[in-house]
Structure 1
Amino acid sequence: MAFHHAQHAQILNQSLSELNGDINVSFEFFPPATPEMESLLWSSVQRLAPLAPKFVSVTYGANSGVRDRTHNVIERIQQQTDLVAAPHLTLVDASDEELIALAQQYWQSGIRNIVALRGDLPAGSAKPTRFACDLVKLLRSVADFDISVAAYPEVHPDAANAQADLINLKRKIDAGANSAITQFFFDIESYLRFRDRCVVAGIEAEIIPGILPVTNFNQLKRFAGMTNVAIPAWLHRQFEGLDDDPATRQLVGANVAIDMVKVLAREGVKDFHFYTLNRAELTYAICHTLGVRPQVAAQ
């Protein structure tokens, strides 16, 4: 058994060594609510920027205060770094006219990438009549954006079933989306099966796995409860007894994510999207394992 495990690890590591830097990464941040969180965000941006991500996205809340913070972060990234900034944009609490005006503003300011989402519905709201595919069509009517949409290997919580969810994803791609970024997951087989089902459904766009490096297991359980993500029993065991041991949690979280990206890279995945939670340490370490190295500017 030990021999087969070592052989498997050797195969995975050999696969990574043969990628020769042929990996694209992107990072998600969220707009800070306090001066301390703002400091953490920008230190993380500076730490990860040398890895030359394909883009960095910034999440977008349903109320105007969070939206303003998103715009401010996007503008600062655009003006003060060489990074490609990709704001999240949602339909919730915004009219088509407002969204068109914002998309025009983004295009005029040099923004070319957008993550297009329906958005979380406020509690007690009516059944939605506008969906992410409508937002994709709207953005396509404004300009030639590079549009990413969301995908759900373990099915969106609001979907009637897996097939209905897949049909909805195809609508978004057919409306003009360039790629899909998955909700985070820990069951690699669920991602691989989902990717195969996308191919069968005629979805040719890249299905980019969303990777969440875990440092706070209790926080993870809350996230998973809201997003229909299964937490395997083995992951519970990995973090058991570590509530008061953040250093060990960090090591365990890094190990889990590194094992995941090794397997995914061997399965042909070349693009990875990291949910950083505005922290750079684990994401940087995982990217290093993938062979992503800091880019040195030419003199």
Structure 2
Amino acid sequence: MALGRPSVLPDRVPTVRDLLAAGGRSFSFEFFPPKTDEGARQLWKAIRELESLRPTFVSVTYGAGGSTRDRTVGIVERIAHDTTLTPVAHFTAVNHSIRELRHLVGRFADAGVRNILAVRGDPPGDPMAEWVQHPDGVLYSEELVRLIRQAGDFCVGVAAFPYKHPRSPSIDADTEYFVQKCRAGADYAITQMFFRAEDYLRLRDRVAARGCDTPIIPCIMPVTQMSTIARSEQLSGAPFPPEVAARFEEVADDPEAVRRLGIEHGAELCRRLLDEGAPGIHFITFNRSSASREVFQRLNVPSSVTAGPAGRHPLPVAGGLQGDAR
């Protein structure tokens, strides 16, 4: 594909935009590119197990500084070709020129991938280090959204931050950055992980108050061990809610009890979000299917209310967005 030429994409491939517009709920799962052969086997085992749930889409993350670029592209291509799933490719601007970004968009188009999640990305090595623009690249996520939009008929998602991005100077500024991404052409958003429904609801209210109605899909990561709490703070840059942490501290000496509570809390959180009108749930899996599957199955979501469209699925049912303040 020539750089800059609008991509021609197969009409039969569904987009997240189509799925949400169908009026149902979206349930989706997030994976990351493995570093070892054993990790790859675990990834594909999880993908095949979750495929039976007929999720609305699955997403594949992109390493800091583009460190997993080729693995991400390869996994997305294989999902598109070898499964019934609709893949969403994470796409970052770190260490990439505009020419390289356009080339990557072309690779996705050639694989029949129409869904891209545009996040600015983390600096390599230290997610909280100073963000340095590539001399021939883009500076803000909204520019990345426009670049993808100009390349063809892609469906573009962006990140949203219930607590606020660590680099944003204030919640108001963070909300404005998000609205700018939506006005640049984003079709929907997926939040950073969070553990308290109120954080999501406040974000949605702030965005609505600015006249923006872009669908915001909440992202949930079930807590299956105590170390997950510290890991969530590292990945999200947001403090873990103390009242939720206190529940886990009560059973901290019993790993099985921690896991049971994590599934229970995840299901409670998802039910509250759905009752409050969230357009669906996006689950972080860490390439394992069991916890997310258990939470999803506790929701007892009937197929009649799930996102449905026409495409590669007969009827789709149902998954750390750091570095994307702007």
TM-score under structure 1 normalisation? 0.86
In structure 2, the residue matched to 1:114 is 116
Task: Report deviation, 1:219.
Answer: 3.3
What is the rounded CA distance, in whole Å, between the counterparts of 1:97 and 1:106 in structure 2?
15
Task: Report deviation, 1:289.
Answer: 2.2
In structure 2, the residue matched to 1:5 is none
Amino acid at match of 2:271: K
Q: Work out whether 1:104 is the aligned partner of 2:106.
A: yes
In structure 2, the residue matched to 1:59 is 61
In structure 1, the residue matched to 2:203 is 194
Task: Report deviation, 1:74.
Answer: 1.1
Amino acid at match of 1:256: H
The runs of 5 or more residues in structure 1 that have no matched partner are: 1-20
Deviation track 1:206-261 (CA, whole Å, cap 9, x = no partner) reads 01101111113223313314523231223222222655643222211100100001
Q: 1:132 to 1:236 in 2, by over 3 A?
A: same
What is the rounded CA distance, in whole Å, between the counterparts of 1:125 and 1:261 in structure 2?
35
Q: Which stretch shifts more, 117-126 or 133-142?
A: 117-126
Larger Rg: 1
What is the rounded CA distance, in whole Å, between the counterparts of 2:118 and 2:167 in structure 1?
17
User: What aligned pairs does 1:162-173 form with structure 2 within 5 A after superposition?
Assistant: 162-173=171-182
Root-mean-square deviation (CA, aligned residues, Å) is 2.3
Identify, as 1 or 2, the structure richer in helix: 1
Q: Which stretch shifts more, 249-258 or 59-68?
A: 59-68
In structure 2, the residue matched to 1:15 is none
Q: Work out whether 1:232 is the aligned partner of 2:232.
A: no
- Aligned counterpart for 1:35 among listed residues 18, 34, 37: 37
What is the rounded CA distance, in whole Å, between the counterparts of 1:126 and 1:212 in structure 2?
26
In structure 1, the residue matched to 2:18 is none
The runs of 5 or more residues in structure 2 that have no matched partner are: 1-22, 307-312, 316-326
In structure 1, the residue matched to 2:26 is 24
Deviation track 1:21-52 (CA, whole Å, cap 9, x = no partner) reads 94320111001112222122111111111222
What is the rounded CA distance, in whole Å, between the counterparts of 1:225 and 1:62 in structure 2?
14
What is the rounded CA distance, in whole Å, between the counterparts of 2:64 and 2:235 in structure 1?
16
In structure 2, the residue matched to 1:16 is none
Q: Which stretch shifts more, 46-55 or 25-34?
A: 46-55
Q: Secondary structure at the match of 1:92?
A: coil
What is the rounded CA distance, in whole Å, between the counterparts of 1:42 and 1:127 in structure 2?
34
Amino acid at match of 1:80: D
What is the rounded CA distance, in whole Å, between the counterparts of 1:22 and 1:86 in structure 2?
18
Q: Work out whether 1:210 is the aligned partner of 2:219.
A: yes
Amino acid at match of 2:288: R
Amino acid at match of 2:32: F
User: What aligned pairs does 1:1-299 form with structure 2 within 5 A after superposition?
Assistant: 22-63=24-65, 65-122=67-124, 123=126, 125=130, 127-128=132-133, 130-240=139-249, 245-292=254-301
TM-score under structure 2 normalisation? 0.79
Amino acid at match of 2:77: E
Task: Report deviation, 1:274.
Answer: 0.7
Maintained 8 Å contact 1:212/1:257: yes
Amino acid at match of 1:48: L
Amino acid at match of 2:179: K
Q: 1:126 to 1:57 in 2, by over 3 A?
A: closer
Q: Which stretch shifts more, 146-155 or 45-54?
A: 45-54
What is the rounded CA distance, in whole Å, between the counterparts of 1:209 and 1:297 in structure 2?
25
Number of residue-to-residue matches in the alignment: 278
Q: Which stretch shifts more, 55-64 or 125-134?
A: 125-134
Amino acid at match of 2:151: V
